[in-house]
Structure 1
């Protein structure tokens, strides 16, 4: 509603809406930034069309076309259109894009780099208001209402719990007071001597505000299927070497292993090769040398950070599961979707109409259809709200198989992961002690630089 100006947004305020899912296509990175300046793009397009018309026009039309072209040039000059590519390049450079990366297609970038592109687009438009997840105020949407809270998410969570606690106390006190009055009315309703008092109590009861119980937030629950335990070794890489070109080796002599009890998070800079490492673990890519060993009964469930690209958006969720895994009844598909909160009419809506978080839940259901005994998850929290991230952490802790994930979400990493694989400089290092040990490592590197 904000981005479509359905609300009362002053006309002089420009709005750029960055979608939850950052699309990747053949557009070069620099051009994708330039394209978000809609006015400049429209003027350049008009200039091109006018010049084409001018070259093929009759003498009588030249004057009007020339006048308009002159106006277009003035407008382009006023917005300094000629300086835009240099400004876009400078913003991209500041966000870590080398000159050669700025001409690469957006589809070649990882999810983390695509989010940097989205930030570059936002900065390039010089917005009056930039909305990011760095919060000073929280607006909580629930029960068709908006409640505002000062402070970040942690403050919101604490304040909300306190507010709900007070509301429950107030409700109980009000209910007790009403019940006390009602007992008096019921006891003396037919007592002529107490008629005036009963009438007074009835009027008092009528004047009291409507008693509304505290609305409960619907609890988010995710549930992964049960699986059989496998005896080790489960999944390992031995002396693995991988590169796209020999001049730049991405991984050199990597030795790692995971078992059924593993809860491993892969961390490292954007572009370090985290997603490539997942694909090597999956067996989707072959090492240039070294080996990948997997248990013969290993069934991996894979969640891609670009999972939306793999969903047929024209189908509803039940149809989607039926098309991928034919042969079961509608009730079976609904049951699977229900484990991830996709129930009722929601399961019959086109996938295209679902929010980013709901699409993620459908992707979890798709991933679980083969009853996997090992999960490999690439940025599973990208579109999930806080409550669903908590539920995902609980579900992964209860899952009986192994888990390897890539995530930037500290809450999830802290909740489930005791071991981290640090991807840096072509090697993968196993780090015990969880996210705090990794933070110390990063801080030590920053201090040394």
Structure 2
């Protein structure tokens, strides 16, 4: 069975089913995929194609990744040693080739140089990291609130209804639900591409929203360059400023002047990320952002999302992305959207339940036993519980914010400690007693600041968790 990027246009539900099917498939399967979870859970061996060479690795993706990194480090070390040996031989030949007494040795070195097969350059950190700019000014929560809202494309035919939800600026929400249930419709409602047909949607007046969808790759101007795209975003910028902006998104001089039609799928996606987030949004809505990204680019996207200070709404079939970036799950099903209280493992178990496959649930009465198998999602008579839960989250928001601020401060201070450690290891500092003493004192003060920030974080996070767990 040969599969080329089988999960790209599947929803999360289809991806989970495919993974389960392939694990029990009795014959040989060859998969081309950038889906890390699929490769970890299905693949027993990895064939890696790079620089026109195919290499075999035993084990799943994570094992391949570890082994490959170890090989790269070894190759880098060997290349450095070879370059040192080559320089030594070349120096010997240059010094002694004219001397009769050393001519034989020089000739021997020259032959050795000719036979020396150069070790290939090691390609490291090929993927430029994504950077989502932080919002200029935080907004009061909630930044978006829906009250009894409905949305659809035709009058009297709502796709989604009874929407009672709120989004805060520090939310990380992933949308679950099969294709066709309305996930993308809901995303369009949030970013004002669709309006409510009934009920209300409230949003902060100064709210800036970034929206990325896989189909937007077709909206790029293929005959223009990334430089020209950035020029249109900031027409008053000088040429140097525009090139600096392009460079900050990983488009150096060569790529900035390359027509979009010549860029790879990942480079086009990066250009779209840059365009969508250029104006420093408070919320980023990502609808299947990984379809054109390789594994390394997906990891760069994970880092960008986790470092971003605004809200994230995520629609993705990439389980690794959802698990590492989302701290809340909302289920889009049965014509509505509601919080899902389980995690992805609970959701997977429900999807793969044999009773559900044999007796699909309908919009009407549920079959016996289906209610237990069904993901927990609030029904209409639980609206009051939802309202109280939202009210409680709002009351606890200051504690949550305090814990998050302390966590960021810890990370900032630890980075400064690492910089001071590097400074202490500098021979110039080590040889200067006064500089050494001052740097050591600064490091000690920084460690005290880290300890204090950790106490603040522990106190705030514990208080928040206890308050949220209380009845």
TM-score past 0.5 threshold: yes
Counterpart in the other structure of 1:239: 148
Matches within 5 A, 1:319-338: 319-338=228-247
State which of 50, 54, 58 in structure 2 corresponds to 1:147. 54
Q: Which runs of 5+ in 1 are unaligned?
A: 1-16, 23-110, 117-128
Give me the whole-angstrom Cα distance separating, in 2, the residues matched to 1:330 and 1:19.
Answer: 43
Out of 276, 280, 297, which is 2:189 matched to? 280
C-alpha distance in 2 between matches for 1:251 and 1:400 = 29
* 1:392 maps to which of 298, 301, 306: 301
Distance, in Å, in 2 between the alignment partners of 1:445 and 1:334 is 56
- The corresponding residue for 1:410 is 319
User: Cα offset for 1:383?
Assistant: 0.4
Asked whether the equivalents of residues 283 and 292 of structure 1 are also in contact (C-alpha less than 8 Å), the reply is no
Aligned to 1:264: 173
User: Displacement, 1:400?
Assistant: 1.3
**Mean alpha-carbon deviation: is it higher for 168-177 or for 339-348?**
168-177
Q: Which residue of 1 aligns with 2:211?
A: 302
Q: Which residue of 1 aligns with 2:66?
A: 158
Cα deviation for residue 219 of structure 1 reads 4.3
Contact 2:5 2:32 in 1 (8 A): no
What is the TM-score normalised by the length of structure 2? 0.59
Cα separation, partners in 2 of 1:273 and 1:175, compared to 1, 3 Å: same
Deviations along 1:123-151, whole A, 9 cap, x unmatched? xxxxxx99753776534234xx3333346
Unaligned runs of 5+ in 2: 16-28, 34-38, 357-369, 374-471
Return the alpha-carbon distance in structure 1 between the equivalents of residues 297 and 132 of structure 2: 14
Q: Which residue of 2 aligns with 1:349?
A: 258
Question: Could you say which residue in structure 2 is the equivalent of 1:340?
Answer: 249
CA deviation after TM superposition for structure 1 residue 313, in Å = 1.7
Classify the secondary structure of the residue corresponding to 2:151.
strand
- Distance in 1, Cα, partners of 2:345 & 2:120: 42
Match of 1:83 in 2: none
Instruction: Name the SS for the 2:309 alignment partner.
Output: coil
Distance 1:172 1:321, change over 3 A: closer
TM-score, normalised by the number of residues in structure 1: 0.62
The alpha-carbon deviation at position 277 of structure 1 amounts to: 0.3
Name the CA distance, whole Å, in 2 between partners of 1:446 and 1:358: 44
The change in CA–CA distance for 1:340 and 1:446 in structure 2 (over 3 A counts) is farther
> In the alignment, is the contact (CA less than 8 A) between 2:11 and 2:316 conserved in 1?
no
- CA separation of 1:203/1:335 partners in 2, compared to 1, >3 Å: closer, same or farther? closer
C-alpha change, 1:170 and 1:446, in structure 2 (3 Å) is: farther
Flag the 1:410–1:339 CA change in 2: closer, same or farther, 3 A: farther
Q: Deviations over 1:331-361 (max 9, x none)?
A: 3333333233222221222222222211111
CA distance in structure 1 between the partners assigned to 2:6 and 2:261 by the alignment: 14
Q: CA-atom RMSD, angstroms? A: 4.2
State the partner residue of 1:216.
123
Looking at structure 2, the residues matched to 431 and 311 of structure 1 have their Cα atoms a distance apart, in angstroms, of 36
Residue 431 of structure 1: which of 324, 340, 359 is its match?
340
Which structure shows the higher helix fraction?
2
CA contact (8 A) 1:220 1:387 kept: no
Residue aligned with 1:367, SS:
helix
> Deviation of residue 387 (structure 1)?
0.9
Matched with 1:89 is: none
CA drift at 1:272: 0.8
Q: C-alpha displacement at 1:285, in angstroms?
A: 1.4
Q: Which of 367, 374, 377 is residue 286 of structure 2 equivalent to?
A: 377
Q: CA deviation at 1:394?
A: 0.7
